[in-house]
Structure 1
Amino acid sequence: MSKKKGRYYVALCLLAGTVTALLVSACSSGSQPGAADRTEQKESSTPPAPEPVELFIYGGRYVSEEGFMEAYGKYIQRKYPHIRFTVYGNKNAADIVSSGQPIDIFYADPIAYPRDVGQFGLAYDMSALIKEFKFDQSRLYPGPIQVMQDTFDKGVTGLPLSMRNVVLHYNKDLFDKFGVTPPRDGMTWDEVYELARKMTRTEGGVQYRGMDFSTHVIDYNQLSLGWIDSKTGRASVNNAQWNELIRNFGRFYQIPGNEVGTPQAKEIMDWNRFGVKGITAMEATTFYPATVTKDLFQMDYASLPAFSSKPGTGSQSPATYIGITSSAKHPKEAFRVIEYLLSDEFQTMLSRQGTISSLRNKAVNDVFGADVPELKGKNLKPVIPSQAAAPAPFSKWSGQTQASYWTPLLNVFTGEVDLNTGLRNMEESINKKVDELNAATR
């Protein structure tokens, strides 16, 4: 190739390259969307904001809208601003259902939840939603979930929102006053009985009591005893196991000075003698934070004493349940709320504030009470469910027959009847109520 032709060829190549570059530049700056166009395109691809949703909440007749919003609602709305709530306050579940009003989310204690959900046909199986949302229910304590499955035989009808645990509360000031070593973790009921005898005394004209109980020691008993046989649907209390249970607690009320049903102690199962008057040394009940007695005395905790037949076993750990009902208008949005309330994030906050988490998560449970100054330095280990008793069998009538056994049982504690007579009376009272309930549903 001649030099002239070579120079001409190079010039053509340079021109072609320049034209190509110009075309590419033109495409990128002219025919392609500019920055404003790209922003508009991106905004048009952003999913639209969710439509506003109103959820109807029922947490029992004493739960107000203000109370719900303070405890739960304001946190939920930070995560889901499109959700607003209407809370049924000062209403019974019966009134809500009979008026045809919906309930999207129902939450209540372990007696009211299955009772009302069952009585008013509100049971709703959340299994499909649990699968759709890939919700890992193994993170939760399994016992309360099993109770709901046994009760309704209808899948997952309730999830634990928070837990309870029966522990031994004691008045540290009284033990210091009388120079008696206070209770410790791992004691038996026999050991605590002797301690109660030591602490029951009269001094300075004041009758001090060694021990009081709440109804929870029976309802959530360590022997996992229910009061209705789930197979027969009849009462199941007149037996050796219930005899052991009631005999254990009844003996404390036979200690001179620690009786009940007297002018000095008319109420049988009474927190006030311990937590308000400060005259009882020990109280076995579900966890109360030390804030409630801070102006009266120093309170601390020990594990619930064990039965010799169930060494190391604590109470059953009942839950505050939460679930969707069959009348829900927005089950998916309701489940989003439940999913958030059972998240590590929200449960950690509850735990720090002194509410027992429903999660079997050590990191969550390790911060229990961290934001409560009055719990600093307290023995909080027994407060978190560890070796809990297995859930007692629960039938569809258990919640509605619970009150039926209390009057005859209290007659045993006051000494009006002997234990064997009391157990027979309990059984008759429960069966009478069962018959009434069965007749009403025919």
Structure 2
Amino acid sequence: MKDGKGRFTVRLMVLLVAAGIVPACSTGSDVAKDKSSKTETQNPLPAKETLEPVELQIYGGRYVSEQGFMDTYGKYIQKKYPHLSFKVYSNMKAADIVAAGLPIDIFYSDPVAYPRDLAEFGLAYDMSALIKQFNFDQNRLYPEPIQVMKDTFNKGITGLPLAMRNVVLHYNKNLFEKFGVAPPRDGMTWDEVYELARKMTRQDNGVMYRGIDFSVHVIDYNQLSLGMVDPKTERASVNTAQWGELIRNFARFYQISGNEVGTPEAKDIMDWKRFGEKGITAMEATTFTSAVVTKELFDMDYASLPSFSSKPGVGSQSPATYIGLTASTQHHQEAFRVIEYLLSNEFQTMLSRTGTISALKDTAVNNVFGADVPELAGKNLKAAIPSHAAAPAPFSKYSGSVQANLWTPLLKVFTREVDVNTGLRTIEESINKKINELKADSK
């Protein structure tokens, strides 16, 4: 990706959005073979809970530290359940944890990391029995992320959303005031924002100002609900008319004179720096980012993501940070108690107040979004809350692994080196080649 792994991680931590997953056992390939045919609810549930001290093993990805987990989640859980303690696998790859035969009780992860770090090792665990036993009302949660897990892995409820993301149009209020142009508003179409981008792309006092930039998320979580890989055929699914509509929409913005990419001034397609660090771009479409990160540079505000004429009023897909148990846990009830608390109105309200989008649909919880962040006071925060989200795109276990195969061919489309149809054929060939390599490596 061109978004920058380090920067993206820092922004996620600022927003208190975590990511991760769980493993355990012997070698990855052997474990996957041994467990793939077994029912993931094989471990019997204890007859009753005890309050004996229990240490739960947590995996949230290589970039999640124990201190970070404790500050965001652990210390609050321990107030509720003092008998629980936590060991967080930090600075470790999931494959290494699995190879060492270490147990993982709880994972939290984004949907890309899930198949790479958990499902491929046969550690997916269906929590349906626990949900029923604890009388947990999953209807309180956004349903789309749960359905993604069901559709993709066919193993029941292997993860519940812990926090949500939503692609939002961010804008530099100072630039719009400087040039006397009305800023973007909720409910605009991409055609309207295209004209706005043309107005805001200009040179002033030797500085070239850009109208708009995009992050990878406009593609990853696109409004047309398009996936890159068909989960049934396990082949690329990008050479279609709908993908052509999606790419043409964003290509035209990067063909505005002065707003080009692939130049010395703007080498990469997707780059937060031009907007959030240099302050030379008027608008940026990306997942919600707190105004805290730009407060020293400019005043930032938000508008809902513009919609396609073919999907009026439809926003981005709203992927989740997932949390769940793994097949290696021996502490089913204690681990689920943790999840139950983190998805309680009490904790989700606290999370919402810090500027993390809640996994709950609850209006009262979402109405206090960002309330504890002074820099968000007076901002159009309703634009950040998923309302008319696009349906989840089909998600394959290969989807995360082939994302990098999109961007080089796409740059050639945006710079007019090739036309859209040629670009989509090239992307399709590149993705299928990568899938073939992944399948060969797994044998």
What TM-score, normalized to structure 2?
Answer: 0.88
Contact 1:52/1:83 (8 A) holds in 2:
yes
Contact 1:65/1:89 (8 A) holds in 2:
yes
The answer as to 2:400 corresponding to 1:399 is yes
SS at match of 2:282: strand
SS at match of 2:327: coil
Counterpart position of 2:155: 154
Q: Which amino acid in structure 2 is aligned with residue 391 of structure 1?
A: P
Contact 1:208/1:280 (8 A) holds in 2:
yes
The answer as to 2:360 corresponding to 1:340 is no
Cα-Cα RMSD: 1.3
The answer as to 2:56 corresponding to 1:55 is yes
Counterpart position of 1:259: 260
CA deviation after TM superposition for structure 1 residue 110, in Å? 2.3
SS at match of 1:432: helix
SS at match of 2:315: coil
Counterpart position of 1:269: 270
Matches of residues 9-408 of structure 1 in structure 2 within 5 Å?
A: 50-408=51-409
Contact 1:114/1:148 (8 A) holds in 2:
no
Q: Which amino acid in structure 2 is aligned with residue 67 of structure 1?
A: G
Contact 2:111/2:319 (8 A) holds in 1:
yes
Contact 1:109/1:321 (8 A) holds in 2:
yes
Counterpart position of 1:35: none
What TM-score, normalized to structure 1?
Answer: 0.88
- C-alpha distance in structure 1 between counterparts of 2:82 and 2:418, whole Å: 59
- C-alpha distance in structure 2 between counterparts of 1:50 and 1:224, whole Å: 45
- C-alpha distance in structure 2 between counterparts of 1:85 and 1:411, whole Å: 48
Counterpart position of 2:41: none
Gaps of 5+ in 2: 1-47
Gaps of 5+ in 1: 1-46
- C-alpha distance in structure 1 between counterparts of 2:84 and 2:387, whole Å: 36
- C-alpha distance in structure 1 between counterparts of 2:384 and 2:154, whole Å: 31
Instruction: Provide the aligned length of Structure 1 versus Structure 2.
Output: 396
Contact 2:164/2:318 (8 A) holds in 1:
yes
CA deviation after TM superposition for structure 1 residue 421, in Å? 1.1
- C-alpha distance in structure 2 between counterparts of 1:362 and 1:337, whole Å: 23
CA deviation after TM superposition for structure 1 residue 98, in Å? 1.1
Counterpart position of 1:417: 418
Q: Which amino acid in structure 2 is aligned with residue 349 of structure 1?
A: M
CA deviation after TM superposition for structure 1 residue 49, in Å? 7.0
- C-alpha distance in structure 2 between counterparts of 1:271 and 1:434, whole Å: 29
Higher share of residues assigned helix: 1
Q: Could you tell which deviates more after superposition, 111-120 or 218-227?
A: 111-120
CA deviation after TM superposition for structure 1 residue 48, in Å? 11
- Going from structure 1 to structure 2, the CA distance change for 1:210 and 1:52 (only over 3 Å counts) comes to same
CA deviation after TM superposition for structure 1 residue 302, in Å? 0.3
Q: Which amino acid in structure 2 is aligned with residue 237 of structure 1?
A: V
- C-alpha distance in structure 2 between counterparts of 1:98 and 1:403, whole Å: 27
Contact 1:158/1:322 (8 A) holds in 2:
yes
Contact 1:150/1:395 (8 A) holds in 2:
no
Q: Among all aligned residue pairs of Structure 1 and Structure 2, give the percentage whose two residues are the same amino acid.
A: 77
SS at match of 1:254: coil
CA deviation after TM superposition for structure 1 residue 122, in Å? 1.7
Question: Which has the greater radius of gyration?
Answer: 1
- C-alpha distance in structure 1 between counterparts of 2:55 and 2:267, whole Å: 47
CA deviation after TM superposition for structure 1 residue 303, in Å? 0.5
Q: Which amino acid in structure 2 is aligned with residue 145 of structure 1?
A: I
Contact 2:49/2:333 (8 A) holds in 1:
no
Q: Which amino acid in structure 2 is aligned with residue 222 of structure 1?
A: Q
Q: Which amino acid in structure 1 is aligned with residue 368 of structure 2?
A: V
CA deviation after TM superposition for structure 1 residue 419, in Å? 1.1
- C-alpha distance in structure 2 between counterparts of 1:115 and 1:169, whole Å: 31
CA deviation after TM superposition for structure 1 residue 434, in Å? 1.3
Counterpart position of 1:434: 435
Q: Could you tell which deviates more after superposition, 253-262 or 320-329?
A: 320-329
- C-alpha distance in structure 2 between counterparts of 1:119 and 1:257, whole Å: 45
Counterpart position of 2:7: none
- C-alpha distance in structure 1 between counterparts of 2:126 and 2:50, whole Å: 29
Q: Which amino acid in structure 2 is aligned with residue 294 of structure 1?
A: K
Counterpart position of 1:34: none
SS at match of 2:341: helix
Q: Which amino acid in structure 2 is aligned with residue 72 of structure 1?
A: Y
